[in-house]
Amino acid sequence: MATNATQEDVYTFDQDHLNIDDPEAIRYLTLMTPRDLTLQFTKNPNTGDLALKTGSNAVKESIRNLILTKKKERPFQPALGSSILELLFEPNDIITEKLIEDEIRTTIENFERRAEVLDVIVNDDREGQGYRIKIIFSVINENEPVTFTTFLTRSRGT
Rounded to two decimals, the pTM is 0.71
Q: What share of the chain is helix, strand, coil (3-state, %, to 5)?
A: 30, 25, 45
Query: Mean pLDDT over all residues of the chain?
Result: 80
Cα–Cα distance measured from residue 78 to residue 67, given in angstroms and rounded to the nearest whole number: 14
Cα–Cα distance measured from residue 100 to residue 87, given in angstroms and rounded to the nearest whole number: 7
pLDDT: is 48 or 101 the higher one?
A: 101
Domain span at 75: 52-153
DSSP tag of 88: T
Within-domain flag for 127: yes
Q: Helix, strand, or coil here: 52?
A: strand
Within-domain flag for 21: no
Confidence of residue 127 (pLDDT cuts 50, 70, 90): confident
Within-domain flag for 65: yes
Q: Which amino acid is at 45?
A: P
Q: What is the pLDDT of residues 67-98, one digit of tens each?
A: 999 998 988 988 888 999 899 888 888 999 99
Q: What is the pLDDT of residues 3-39, one digit of tens each?
A: 444 444 444 444 555 555 677 766 665 556 676 667 7
Cα–Cα distance measured from residue 104 to residue 121, given in angstroms and rounded to the nearest whole number: 10
Within-domain flag for 131: yes
Within-domain flag for 108: yes
Per the structure, the count of domains in the chain is 1
Within-domain flag for 96: yes
Q: How many Cβ atoms sit within 10 Å of the Cβ of residue 27?
A: 10
Within-domain flag for 101: yes
CATH number, domain at 94?
3.10.450.40
Which residues have C-beta within 8 Å of that of residue 48, sequence separation ≥ 6? none
Q: Among residues of the chain, what percentage have pLDDT more than 70?
A: 75
Give me the helix-helix angle, 94-111 and 56-68, nearest 10°. 120
Chain center to CA of 41:
19
Cα–Cα distance measured from residue 31 to residue 145, given in angstroms and rounded to the nearest whole number: 21
What's the farthest any 2 CA atoms get from each other in the chain? 70
